[in-house]
């Protein structure tokens, strides 16, 4: 049976199910961001101490990307997703009961580690439709984005009305529900890799050397997502401090603005399908720089903040969709391993961005934090420009070699 025949037989609800499931799973990494102050008060921790919760969740997710995600090319993806979802549910239940900061930090690490199924689902979706890959990946990634951004709204409101522990208990029920639905409806995709786990990791690392586009995309993803995580982590402290003094529920509502931006981002997947990746990336990085500049110049303007959040999220998320479209076209049978390199680098960037965001906040508040974000944004722009120059040089050299023959 050809891929097109499989697509015709595929239930039309499969891609929406994958999108929602990925969103519900990945949201667990971000539930902590608008409720850090509440967690800190309950365990008597400082802002810098409780900020480690976000950093460890992202670090755990990054390690999961490297050590667990490649298994999607070796094992039955459906079974792997269900196993990790079960471990995630257990971690969520435990964190809703523990009462010490070190236990919350440790469990946050495991929550990040076991949230990897979101990234196993994404390359799985890419294999189901090779013709409209950018569009399909865009749909599933939109689910991930809505999960990331909606997490702030949900956790903020639940924490305000019921307490922060209920955030994790309710999430455990949601993940379990999606796991049952995936058990019933997710398609079986046979693994292509036949070697050992060691050779799997070795072949994963070899892709870094083999594909310059993968290296470029991974670095770009790390810096742009580092800006994203630095922004949202320090924004919680900025909004809860004087003169704004917002509560967790209000802070979480700002995620609704970001969701609007996330829903626009998939249109850049269509642009990438047409091969206009350089143009797409220039536009998206410019959005990020403009957004950070605006909120830096007008730190207490709610209108400026709304505009900045909207365009920052379009810029960051559209950059990732364009990157996914680029890397998934490199090797048809190595999607999970390609995703491993990209997402490991991506979330290392997130953890480092969060760390420097917290450090900047401690040293100089919102002004230092936004300066750090601008530096990372301009580095991302430099990566795009230098990568395009290199790609054009390689293409010109190849064309010249053909002419000489």
Mean of the pLDDT values across residues 9-24?
A: 85
Q: Is the pLDDT of residue 1 over 60?
A: no
Which letter, b or e, does each residue of 315-325 get, where b requires 16 or more Cβ atoms within 10 Å of its Cβ?
bbbbbbbbbbb
Tokens (6 digits) for 277: 């990746």
Tell me which residue has tokens 């802070």: 251
- Write the DSSP assignment of 114-178 as a string of letters: TTTHHHHHHHHHHHH-STTHHHHHHHHHHHHHHHHHHHHHHHHHHHHHT-HHHHHHHHHHHHHHH
* Side-chain-facing half-sphere of 12: CA atoms under 13 Å: 0
The average confidence (pLDDT) of the chain is 85
Q: Is the pLDDT of residue 227 over 60?
A: yes
Higher pLDDT, residue 93 or 329:
93
Residue-level pLDDT at 194: 81
Q: Is the pLDDT of residue 217 over 50?
A: yes
Asked if 312 contacts 292 with a C-beta cutoff of 8 angstroms, the reply is yes
Mean of the pLDDT values across residues 369-386?
A: 95
Q: How far apart are CA 331 and CA 222, in angstroms?
A: 21
Which residues have CB under 8 Å from 391's CB, separation 6+?
A: 212, 213
Helix and strand numbers (H, E) in the chain are: 17, 0
Mean of the pLDDT values across residues 333-340?
A: 80
Q: Is the pLDDT of residue 5 over 50?
A: no
Residue-level pLDDT at 257: 81
Residue-level pLDDT at 37: 84
Alpha helices in 186-334 (DSSP H): 197-210, 212-240, 248-264, 267-273, 277-297, 302-328
Task: Output Rg (C-alpha) for the chain, integer angstroms.
Answer: 21
Q: How far apart are CA 237 and CA 104, in angstroms?
A: 20
Which residues have CB under 8 Å from 65's CB, separation 6+?
A: 116, 119, 339, 340, 343, 344, 346, 347
Q: Is the pLDDT of residue 377 over 80?
A: yes
CATH of 13-398, one of 2.60.40.10, 3.10.50.40, 3.30.43.10, 1.20.1250.20: 1.20.1250.20
| pLDDT tens-digit series, residues 122-137 | 878 877 766 666 667 7
Tokens (6 digits) for 298: 């007008």
Residue-level pLDDT at 396: 65
6-15, 175-184, 195-204: least confident range: 6-15
Q: How far apart are CA 33 and CA 54, in angstroms?
A: 7
Residue-level pLDDT at 36: 87
Mean of the pLDDT values across residues 3-12?
A: 53
Q: Is the pLDDT of residue 382 over 90?
A: yes
| pLDDT tens-digit series, residues 248-294 | 778 777 877 877 776 776 666 666 666 667 888 898 999 999 999 99
Residue-level pLDDT at 195: 81
52 exposure class (CB count in 10 Å sphere: 0-12, 13-18, 19+): buried
CA distances in angstroms from 351 to 50, 282, 336, listed in the order given: 14, 25, 21
Q: Is the pLDDT of residue 242 over 60?
A: yes
Mean of the pLDDT values across residues 169-176?
A: 97
Residue-level pLDDT at 133: 65
Residue-level pLDDT at 167: 96
145-159, 253-267, 314-328: least confident range: 253-267
Mean of the pLDDT values across residues 231-258?
A: 83
CA distances in angstroms from 377 to 76, 178, 346, 396, listed in the order given: 38, 36, 14, 29
């Amino acid at each position: 049976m050809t891929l097109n025949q499989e697509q015709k037989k595929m239930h039309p609800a499969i891609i929406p199910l994958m999108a929602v499931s990925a969103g519900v799973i990945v949201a667990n990494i971000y539930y902590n961001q608008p409720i850090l102050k509440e967690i800190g008060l309950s365990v008597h921790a400082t802002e810098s101490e409780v900020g480690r919760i976000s950093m460890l969740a992202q670090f755990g997710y990054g390690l999961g990307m490297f050590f667990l995600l490649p298994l999607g090319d070796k094992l039955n993806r459906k079974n792997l997703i269900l196993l990790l979802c079960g471990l995630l549910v257990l971690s969520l239940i435990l964190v809703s009961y523990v009462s010490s900061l070190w236990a919350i930090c440790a469990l946050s690490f495991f929550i990040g580690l076991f949230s990897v199924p979101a990234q196993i689902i994404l390359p799985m979706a890419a294999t189901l439709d090779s013709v409209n890959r950018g569009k399909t990946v865009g749909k599933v990634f939109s689910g991930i984005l809505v999960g990331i951004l909606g997490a702030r709204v949900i956790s903020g409101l639940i924490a305000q009305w019921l307490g922060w522990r209920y955030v994790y208990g309710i999430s455990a029920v949601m993940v379990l529900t999606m796991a049952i639905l995936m058990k019933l409806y997710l398609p079986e995709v046979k693994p292509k890799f036949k070697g050992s786990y060691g050779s799997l990791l070795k072949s994963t690392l070899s892709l870094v050397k083999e594909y310059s586009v993968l290296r470029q995309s991974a670095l770009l993803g790390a810096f742009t997502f580092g800006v994203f995580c630095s922004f949202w982590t320090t924004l919680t402290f900025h909004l809860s401090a004087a003169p704004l003094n917002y509560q967790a529920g209000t802070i979480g509502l700002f995620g609704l603005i970001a969701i609007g931006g996330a829903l626009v981002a998939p249109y850049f997947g269509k642009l990438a399908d047409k091969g206009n990746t350089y143009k797409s990336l220039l536009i998206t990085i410019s959005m990020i720089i403009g957004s950070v500049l605006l909120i830096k110049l007008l730190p207490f303007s709610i209108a400026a903040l709304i505009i900045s959040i909207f365009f920052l999220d379009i810029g960051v998320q559209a950059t990732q969709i364009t990157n996914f479209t680029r890397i998934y076209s490199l090797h048809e049978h190595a999607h999970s391993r390609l995703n491993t390199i990209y997402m490991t680098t991506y979330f290392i960037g997130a953890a480092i961005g969060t760390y420097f965001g917290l450090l900047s906040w401690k040293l100089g508040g919102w002004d230092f934090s936004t300066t750090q974000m601008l530096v990372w944004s301009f580095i991302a722009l430099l990566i795009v420009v230098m990568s395009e120059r290199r790609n054009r040089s390689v293409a010109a050299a190849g064309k010249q070699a053909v002419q000489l023959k």
